[in-house]
Amino acid sequence: MAPKHPKARVEIAGKLSADRKERSRKLALLKKKRTELVKQTSKLQHEQTTDEIEGLEKEIVASPRGYNHVVKLLEHLKSPEKTTISAAATSLCRAFIKLMVKGELSKKKGATDAEVQILEWLRGQYGIFIGDLCGLLDYKDGGIQEEVLWLLMRLVKAESEHLTPPEEEAYFPHKLFRRIVEALVYAENLEDYLRIQFTEKYLDVYDDIRYSFFSAVKTLTQIALKTPSTLPQFTKTTITLILSLHNLPTSTTPPFTSFFALIPPSSTSPTNPRAILALTPHRKLLQTVLLHLLRLPTITPYTPSILQNITTLAPTFPNPETLMDFLTDTYATGGPTALLALSGLFYLIKTKNLDYQNFYQNLYALLDRNLLHLKYRSRFFRLLEEFLGSKYLPAALIASFLKRLARLALSAPPAAVVVIIPFVYNLLKAHPACWFMLHREGTTEELDRWRKDGVVDPFDPEEEDPLETGAIDSCLWELETLRGHWQPNVATLARILGEQFTKASYGLEDFLDHSYGSMFAAEMKKNVNSERPPVVEFEVPKRIFFEVEREGGNEDLSEAAANPLLSLWEF
């Protein structure tokens, strides 16, 4: 029965609270001891496992009787503990390298059937080990992935040194390296920094590694085409790796001297160099690989990246004209990639003297009113400045581009117009033969005809060939119109075309990044003259258009008042 006195109740409640706190403290202490015990047990088990792994490694190397321990170490690679996986992988790598050094993985002359059988079994276990290591590149831990990649490259080095066939002086284990490349390409959990590290430490440094990489990609491309489900991942990773390379061979590359594998001096004889040692086979292989990749059905998302790097890739091609089909097909798709494709074509025309007759016609076709509203407008004007930079282009061609730009400026946003005006200035400055388009004085007969029938612009905006538009017979009246533009900055800038051309040229970069946002920000920074404040409307109207009452029988006003559209503008 509960006590009735309040003081007694308080004492009992306090005692119960103290008991609960004591139990909680003891429980927390017990959990802490249990955690420490688990850690100590885990540490002890790890030490025991590590000691066991090292012991098995020694027995494997010591005698053929210990070869069966390879199976036990392979089982440790499937352990849930990262430390166990790391220890087992390292021990197996050391063991197999020591066996290579002793010649236990090489076929010996006069070997008995039993020895041959042991050798084949041991090679089979070595193959399983390589497969497990490649699988660990997809392990969900960056530390394990990095260690495994290092072990695999160590095995590449060991094979090239100790498993060289008797008939070869210089040997590179292409088969092993292809398995590594395949694992790197398809590993979905591989950390991005490891692919970058692989490129920086191996592909960009060693010539034999780079050659074997392209050879592996060539083979893997053929395999991927037979399994379409793997193509997206294969395309993404392979293109990323290739575009990250900075040391691609070109015609000016000096003789190869950097090799990851051991290359005997006698194998570098210039009379009959092996493909892996010579420059021309490297370039041919790279060209073949890239052309195969460009034909993949999954290449489209990566086409812009490839086109942006075309000036890096094209010099590696022994036959750069093989890129023409890819570039022309890409241009046909339209949009931003068409512009990049033209940039690649222009590079080949300029540096490789290749002929592309419709280049300027295709460039002219890209100039439409949509272009001036798109986000890649700045890139287009940068390239257009380069494309039209030659002083040997026909005046009729330049006139067509001037006229098309001037016509587009009439309906372009202000940010685009402020690019067009200095661009036209620079183009006129570079091509004085077109200056007359700014101020064309007609003959007496022409003036009489214009007064009588009006002026007809001879420029044909629908003509696709820039040499046939008739722009050379026209004038840039559109630029005069811009002097009355509603945007004061545009109107001010347009006046430079009516003054003497004393400035050599305008830096186009100063005008490319303008937008409505930047113009608004510039206006907001201006100091308003307090003595002449801007005119404002103090009463907010309810309509944009107002009905006009009929006055004096004015029929025009009455029609305006009766306009039914007025009702649509009520707020």
CB-based burial label for 301 (10 Å; 0-12, 13-18, 19+):
exposed
Report which of residues 194 and 373 the model is more confident about. 194
Task: Please give the average per-residue pLDDT across 151-163, as a whole number.
Answer: 93
pLDDT band at residue 34, thresholds of 50, 70 and 90? low
* Whole-number Å distance between alpha carbons of 145 and 194: 8
Of 106, 136, 166, the one marking the end of a domain is: 136
Whether 494 has a pLDDT exceeding 70, the answer reads yes
- Identify which of 541, 540, 539, 543 has the alpha carbon closest to the alpha carbon of residue 565: 543
Task: Please give the average per-residue pLDDT across 199-211, as a whole number.
Answer: 93
Report which DSSP code applies to 535.
Answer: P
pLDDT band at residue 571, thresholds of 50, 70 and 90? very low
Place of tokens 């700014």: 438
Q: 402 with 476: CB under 8 angstroms?
A: yes
Query: What is the reported pLDDT for 85?
Result: 92
Rg (CA), the chain: 39
pLDDT band at residue 498, thresholds of 50, 70 and 90? confident
Q: 148 with 135: CB under 8 angstroms?
A: no
Task: Please give the average per-residue pLDDT across 240-267, as a whole number.
Answer: 83
Task: Please give the average per-residue pLDDT across 78-101, as a whole number.
Answer: 92
Residue 431 lies in a domain: yes
Q: 427 with 497: CB under 8 angstroms?
A: no
Q: How many CA atoms lie within 13 A of 69 on its CB side?
A: 20
pLDDT band at residue 546, thresholds of 50, 70 and 90? low
* Whole-number Å distance between alpha carbons of 111 and 114: 8
In degrees to the nearest 10, what's the CA dihedral of 464, 467, 469, 470?
180
Domain identity same for 549 and 468 = no
Place of tokens 């309810």: 542
CB-based burial label for 371 (10 Å; 0-12, 13-18, 19+):
middle
Q: 431 with 438: CB under 8 angstroms?
A: no
* Whole-number Å distance between alpha carbons of 368 and 386: 19
3-state secondary structure of 570: strand
* Whole-number Å distance between alpha carbons of 170 and 278: 13
Domain identity same for 432 and 468 = yes
Q: 479 with 406: CB under 8 angstroms?
A: yes
Residue 282 lies in a domain: no
Residue 296 lies in a domain: no
Domain identity same for 527 and 564 = no
Backbone angles phi, psi at 149, to 5 degrees: -60, -40
pLDDT band at residue 559, thresholds of 50, 70 and 90? very low
**DSSP bridge partners of 570:** 543
Report which of residues 64 and 33 the model is more confident about. 64
Whether 151 has a pLDDT exceeding 90, the answer reads yes
Domain identity same for 88 and 110 = yes
Task: Please give the average per-residue pLDDT across 225-254, as a whole number.
Answer: 92
Domain identity same for 84 and 121 = yes
State how far the alpha carbon of 269 is from the alpha carbons of 173, 273, 278, 476, in Å.
21, 6, 10, 67
Contacts of 275 by beta carbon, 8 Å cutoff, 6+ apart: 211, 281, 282, 285
The model's pLDDT over 353-376, given as tens digits with 9 standing for 90+, comes to 887 878 899 899 988 888 888 778
* Whole-number Å distance between alpha carbons of 421 and 490: 9
Report which of residues 556 and 516 the model is more confident about. 516
3-state secondary structure of 543: strand
Domain identity same for 409 and 509 = yes
Of 120, 136, 152, the one marking the end of a domain is: 136
Q: 172 with 276: CB under 8 angstroms?
A: yes
Backbone angles phi, psi at 570, to 5 degrees: -80, 140
Domain identity same for 564 and 447 = no
Domain identity same for 435 and 520 = yes
Report which of residues 320 and 547 the model is more confident about. 320
* Whole-number Å distance between alpha carbons of 235 and 225: 11
Residue 438 lies in a domain: yes
The model's pLDDT over 425-481, given as tens digits with 9 standing for 90+, comes to 999 999 988 888 888 777 777 777 777 777 788 899 999 999 999 999 888 888 888
Average pLDDT, the chain: 83
Domain identity same for 504 and 441 = yes
Whether 552 has a pLDDT exceeding 80, the answer reads no
The DSSP secondary structure of 118-134, one letter per residue, reads HHHHHHHHHHHHHHHHH
Domain identity same for 426 and 481 = yes
Domain that holds residue 128: 44-136
Query: What is the reported pLDDT for 6?
Result: 60
Residue 256 lies in a domain: no
* Whole-number Å distance between alpha carbons of 70 and 57: 8
Q: Based on the structure, what is the number of domains in the chain? A: 3
Contacts of 186 by beta carbon, 8 Å cutoff, 6+ apart: 138, 230, 233, 234, 237
* Whole-number Å distance between alpha carbons of 351 and 542: 64
The DSSP secondary structure of 199-267, one letter per residue, reads IIIIITT-HHHHHHHHHHHHHHHHHHHH-GGGHHHHHHHHHHHHHT-S----TTPPPP---SS---GGG
pLDDT band at residue 41, thresholds of 50, 70 and 90? very low
Residue 228 lies in a domain: no
Domain identity same for 559 and 526 = no
Residue 35 lies in a domain: no
In the chain, the percentage of residues whose pLDDT exceeds 70 is 83
pLDDT band at residue 264, thresholds of 50, 70 and 90? low
Contacts of 309 by beta carbon, 8 Å cutoff, 6+ apart: 243
Query: What is the reported pLDDT for 466?
Result: 93
Residue 66 lies in a domain: yes
Contacts of 62 by beta carbon, 8 Å cutoff, 6+ apart: none
Query: What is the reported pLDDT for 101?
Result: 93
Q: 217 with 227: CB under 8 angstroms?
A: no
The tokens of 151 are what? 């072990």
- Identify which of 533, 559, 563, 558 has the alpha carbon closest to the alpha carbon of residue 545: 563
> What count of residues does the chain have?
571
Domain identity same for 556 and 499 = no
